[in-house]
Amino acid sequence: MINEQLNPTKMKRFEYYSRPKVTYPKKTDYITLYVYDRGVLLWSGPHYEKSKGDLKQEYPKAVIQEVFDENPYKEHRRKYDEELNRLHEEFKSDLYAEFGVSDNPKRGRLFNIAWDHAHSDGYSQVYEYFADLVDLIKD
């Protein structure tokens, strides 16, 4: 594998760049269910404690309300996106250092080409594509 040959001070294992520490936010984690009967709250809690179907069986004549807490969800999504962007920028920086082109004005253009052609196959393929073309921008 390529990563085993790399200088560990420049590149990390490719999995590092694609595994953010912040979990992907699921909208369902931000839904609270409320069960009402004649204006009285009978039960409330997150959807994962009891399903809506279970609540309908348990409280057949009650009204079940789902409330999505949008602000905490958006904040979680913002943190997740920031982590992905940080890892992406770290990969680019490490990649440039690996090939000694950190100061090369054409490094960004080359990265964009490698990214466009290979990112769907993962960071290792972006690395391979960049490696194949990097000599074109070196002096």
Dump pLDDT digits (tens) for 29-59: 999 999 999 999 999 999 889 999 999 999 9
- CA 6 to chain CA centroid, Å, is 25
Tell me how far apart the alpha carbons of residues 80 and 116 are, in angstroms, rounded to a whole number: 22
**Confidence (pTM):** 0.79
Residue with tokens 């912040």: 22
Dump pLDDT digits (tens) for 58-99: 999 999 999 999 999 999 999 999 999 999 999 999 999 999
Q: How many distinct structural domains can be found in the chain?
A: 2
What integer is the mean pLDDT of 120-126? 95
Structure tokens given for 32: 């609270």
Are 36 and 84 contained in the same domain? Answer: no
> Does pLDDT of 2 surpass 70?
no
Are 63 and 124 contained in the same domain? Answer: no
Tell me how far apart the alpha carbons of residues 100 and 115 are, in angstroms, rounded to a whole number: 18
Tell me how far apart the alpha carbons of residues 137 and 139 are, in angstroms, rounded to a whole number: 7
Structural contact between residues 65 and 34, judged by C-beta atoms closer than 8 angstroms: yes
Are 49 and 63 contained in the same domain? Answer: yes
What local confidence, expressed as pLDDT, does residue 38 receive?
94
Dump pLDDT digits (tens) for 13-30: 999 999 999 999 999 999
Structure tokens given for 134: 């990097």
**Residues facing 41 on adjacent strands:** 36
Domain end call among 39, 69, 99: 69
Band of pLDDT at residue 8, cut at 50, 70 and 90: very low
